[in-house]
Amino acid sequence: MAEGRIAIAMSGGVDSSTAALILKDAGWDLVGFSMQLWDRTRNISEDEEIAVGGCCSPDDFYDAREVAARLNIPYYVVDFQEEFERTIVRSFIEDYRKGLTPSPCVLCNSKMKFDRLARMADEVHATHIATGHYARVGYEEESGRYLLLRAADRSKDQAYFLFELNQEQLAKAVFPLGGLTKEQVRETARRHGLVVADKSESQEICFIPDGDYAAFIERNHDCVVGKSGEISLFAPGQIVGTDGRILGVHQGIHRFTIGQRRGLGIAHTSPLYVVEIRPEENRVVIGERSELGRDRCRVIRTNWISIPDLFEPLQVQAKIRSRHPEAPATITPMNDGSVEVLFDDPQPAVSPGQACVFYQDDVVVGGGWIDRDKSNKK
């Protein structure tokens, strides 16, 4: 029988609900929290319909409350909207303004779920924080460090999104689903009669349920970031080839990401892709697939988990996007505190602003953020 209290984040989905069920059955004293992060009425399309996604809807909170009642645990909805907008949404919009491709889910985990929620956990005297992430936590006696491990089900692994967690956060983190498959989770929920057992899951960013990033940015830029006297984020600019030839006109760099193929509006004998975004020139550079490859990148704002710091070159598997397979690479510390990532084989669409996470087998070594570096071409 487990002893102690755990604060568990409950989104109203099958994963967090089943995580709560597993911990309750194990004898933990649970307190459930749902975080009100975004006012969904702001997701209004041109036809005045609200785009409903997997975050902060009344239905989600209703489902979470139903599960909490079924498990007989206290449940609270906490309002973090102001902090979420300031910390996550503003950063998301500003990154697109800089020609970057952000990863808001990583920031949300480290800055909201395992930071802001930790404060709520303290208020209810909980010693640990649990979520429905597919990941695992270990402890290495020799180094005295907590480890972040990939989930047993690699197809559902979410360790990539947790690489910014520090040792204090990992010491308190509990991931009950780390050893299960998605089907095992759903079957457990069905067997115990949870109302969310067959609830679908969103694949989009929670505050942009329709997946239209450009429309979201245009709709929310001024109220979140404020107006600027600089070149407008939405100003038309040139689309150029890698040789500098002007090929077309774009309607704002926020509409483009590295590796993008659709929506370029350029006729060509072979497919073209975005290979670079130059915000200082308000230009989008496009080229053929062969021009997408990069054999290295520079990573900044690193966080180390299995090691205290990087002091010498290290062989790792590097993952440059959440859905991109990891690739063999050597990471080397630089004098300015950044890390050079040298891939064994060139990688396509290495995107500034995205997280680059380093692994050794199942262990997350650490990670950081891909910086814009004009010298990283193949």
Q: 12-24 pLDDT, tens per residue?
A: 999 999 999 999 9
Query: What is d(CA 378, CA 296) in angstroms, rounded to the nearest whole number?
Result: 8
- Report the CATH number that the domain containing residue 91 is assigned in CATH: 3.40.50.620
Both 255 and 349 in a single domain?
no
Q: Are 246 and 318 in a shared domain?
A: no
Q: What is the CATH number of the domain that holds 249?
A: 2.30.30.280
333 and 280 in a common domain: no
Residues 176 and 313 in one domain: no
Total residues belonging to the chain: 378
Q: Does residue 185 sit in the same domain as residue 87? A: yes
Is residue 356 a contact partner of residue 319, using CB atoms and an 8 Å limit?
A: yes
Segment holding 318, helix H or strand E: strand 314-319
CB neighbour list of residue 60: distance below 8 Å, 6 or more residues apart:
11, 12, 13, 34, 54
Q: Tell me: the pLDDT tens digits for 241-296?
A: 999 999 999 999 999 999 999 889 888 888 999 999 999 999 999 999 999 999 99
pLDDT in tens, 142-191: 999 999 999 999 999 999 999 999 999 999 999 999 999 999 999 999 99
164 inside domain? yes
Can you tell me whether residue 124 is helix, strand or coil? coil
Are 105 and 239 in a shared domain?
no
How far apart are alpha carbons 360 and 301 in whole angstroms?
Answer: 20
Please report whether residue 25 resides in a domain: yes
User: Which positions are catalytic?
Assistant: 108, 206
Q: Is residue 90 part of a domain?
A: yes
- 375 domain residue, yes or no: no
Residues 41 and 141 in one domain: yes
Q: Which two structure tokens, joined as six digits, stand for 14? A: 């099958």
Q: Per-residue pLDDT for 131 more than 60?
A: yes
Let me know if residue 209 belongs to a domain.
Answer: no
- Asked if 278 and 323 sit in the same domain, the reply is no
Please check whether residues 341 and 253 belong to one and the same domain.
no
Domain count, the chain: 3
Q: What is the pLDDT of residues 221-235, one digit of tens each?
A: 878 876 655 556 688
- Given 290, 307, 338, the domain boundary residue is 290
Structure pTM? 0.91
Is the pLDDT reported for residue 197 higher than 90? yes
Residue 254 lies in a domain: yes
Of 240, 265, 290, the one marking the end of a domain is 290
Domain membership flag for residue 215: no
Task: Show the domain range for 236.
Answer: 228-290
204 is a domain residue: no
Percentage of the residues of the chain whose pLDDT score is greater than 90? 77
CATH number of the structural domain spanning residue 318 = 2.40.30.10
A 10 A CB-CB count for 155 gives 8
Show contacts of 275-280: CB within 8 Å, 24+ apart. Answer: 275/242, 276/242, 277/99, 277/253, 278/99, 279/97, 279/98, 279/99, 279/253
Give pLDDT, residue 290. Answer: 92
Shared domain for 310 and 265, answered yes or no, is no
Whether 131 and 9 share a structural domain: yes
In this structure, the answer to whether residues 333 and 248 fall within a common structural domain is no
What is the mean predicted confidence (pLDDT) over 130-138?
98
Quote the Cα angle for 308-358-144, to 5°. 30
Please report, for residues 56, 67, 180, 349, 376, the alpha-carbon distance to residue 11 in angstroms, rounded to integers and kept in the order given: 8, 11, 19, 32, 40
